[in-house]
């Protein structure tokens, strides 16, 4: 079999494994911009309001974003939440904490990961060298950096705690995109430095058992779930931001919350 045939075969197999993944170019179309449909922008603003209320009594404004499994639009959601908070004039930082399979840098044309989170935690660069400033108005980004051999050890290290402490003094909100809980436990390692997690679920895709398994792990790690965001919502789905209570007791429902499947958060590599 030729190299070209092998490449086509690999792509075909990947498609069979998860047909919900899309190309980077397609994923970039789902990042908020001036052409984004009104209902999508408003959905994120509604989420922003509820998250702000959830954080109102917390001294920490560090928020991790995770999901149960890949392809639930976790990274797209993390990026769009960060952009939405920055729209208020707040100083916002987005950190790509998925050093195993980083994707945030791919969603912005002028972003690379030559240096980033792994570089800072490994002592290879300064905090200032890891930050990409003004990627959007009021939004800075720290990409994942080169893939390290020990991402879990770095995330759970004292260096990570100090890194977050330093940055918390300079930003109003910090969002950290983390790997899915049911794949690796990296997101749980940030429980001590995070105010809580935003948990992403995908309409007609995420399985109840997978969510329950992820929540059990979060509870065991004494983590706090601030709420749920449902993506790829079909137009007839109420969708929405679920407050501490998917199983905790209440939800914030919005008719067009999330995305209509035909034009929305039908994403990608996260």
pTM of this prediction exceeds 0.75 = yes
> Which residues are CB-neighbours of 71 under 8 A, at least 6 positions away?
18, 20, 21, 202, 205, 267, 268, 269, 270
For residue 110, what pLDDT is reported?
A: 84
For residue 154, what pLDDT is reported?
A: 98
For residue 262, what pLDDT is reported?
A: 27
For residue 33, what pLDDT is reported?
A: 94
For residue 27, what pLDDT is reported?
A: 86
| Torsion on CA atoms 203, 208, 177, 114, rounded to nearest 10 | -90
For residue 32, what pLDDT is reported?
A: 96
What's the per-residue H, E or C state across the chain?
Answer: CCHHHHHHHHHHHHHHHCCCCCCHHHHHCCCCCCCCCHHHHHHHHHHHHHHHHHCCCCCCCEEEEEECCCCCCHHHHHHHHHHHHHCCCCCEEEEECCCCCCCHHHHCCCCCCCCCHHHHHCCCCCHHHHCEEEEECCEEEECCCCCCCCHHHHHCCHHHHHHHHHHHCCCCEEEEECCCCCCCCHHHHHHHHCCEEEEEEECCCCCHHHHHHHHHHHHHCCCCEEEEEEECCCCCCCCEEECCCCCCCCCEECCCCCCCCCCCCCCCCC
For residue 232, what pLDDT is reported?
A: 84
What token pair was written down for 100? 């195993």
pLDDT 10s digit of each residue in the chain, 270 long?
A: 544 444 344 434 444 556 666 788 888 999 999 999 999 999 999 999 999 999 999 999 999 999 999 999 999 999 999 999 999 999 999 999 999 999 999 999 889 999 999 999 999 999 999 999 999 999 999 999 999 999 999 999 999 999 999 999 999 999 999 999 999 999 999 999 999 999 999 998 999 999 999 999 999 999 999 999 999 886 554 444 444 433 332 232 333 233 322 223 334 445
For residue 24, what pLDDT is reported?
A: 86
Give the residue from 125, 130, 83, 107 showing the smallest Cα distance to 22. Answer: 107
Walk me through the domains of the chain, giving residue ranges and CATH numbers. 20-253 (3.40.50.300)
For residue 26, what pLDDT is reported?
A: 83
How far is residue 152 from each of residues 100, 188, 203, measured CA to CA in Å? 9, 10, 30
């Amino acid at each position: 079999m030729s190299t070209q045939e092998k490449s086509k075969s690999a792509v075909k197999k990947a498609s069979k494994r998860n047909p919900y993944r899309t190309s980077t170019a397609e994923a970039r179309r789902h990042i908020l911009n001036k052409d984004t449909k009104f209902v999508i922008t408003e959905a994120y603003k509604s989420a922003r309001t509820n998250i702000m209320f959830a954080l109102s009594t917390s001294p920490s404004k560090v928020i991790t974003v995770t999901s149960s499994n890949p392809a639930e639009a976790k990274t797209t959601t993390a990026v769009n939440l960060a952009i939405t908070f920055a729209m208020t004039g707040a100083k916002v930082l987005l950190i790509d904490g998925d050093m195993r399979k980083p994707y945030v840098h791919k969603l912005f044309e002028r972003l690379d990961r030559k240096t980033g989170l792994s570089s800072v935690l490994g002592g290879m660069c300064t905090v200032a060298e890891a930050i990409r400033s003004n990627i959007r108005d009021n939004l800075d980004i720290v990409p994942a950096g080169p893939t390290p051999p020990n991402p879990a050890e770095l995330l759970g290290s004292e260096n990570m705690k100090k890194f977050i402490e330093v940055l918390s003094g300079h930003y109003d909100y910090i969002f950290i995109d983390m790997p899915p809980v049911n794949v690796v436990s990296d997101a749980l390692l940030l429980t001590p430095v995070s105010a809580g997690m935003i948990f992403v679920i995908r309409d007609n895709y995420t399985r109840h058992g997978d969510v329950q398994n992820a929540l059990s792990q979060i509870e065991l790690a004494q983590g706090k779930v601030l709420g749920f965001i449902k993506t790829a919502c079909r137009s007839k789905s109420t969708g929405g931001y679920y407050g501490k209570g998917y199983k905790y007791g209440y939800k914030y429902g919005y008719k067009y919350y999330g995305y209509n499947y035909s034009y929305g958060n039908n994403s990608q590599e996260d």
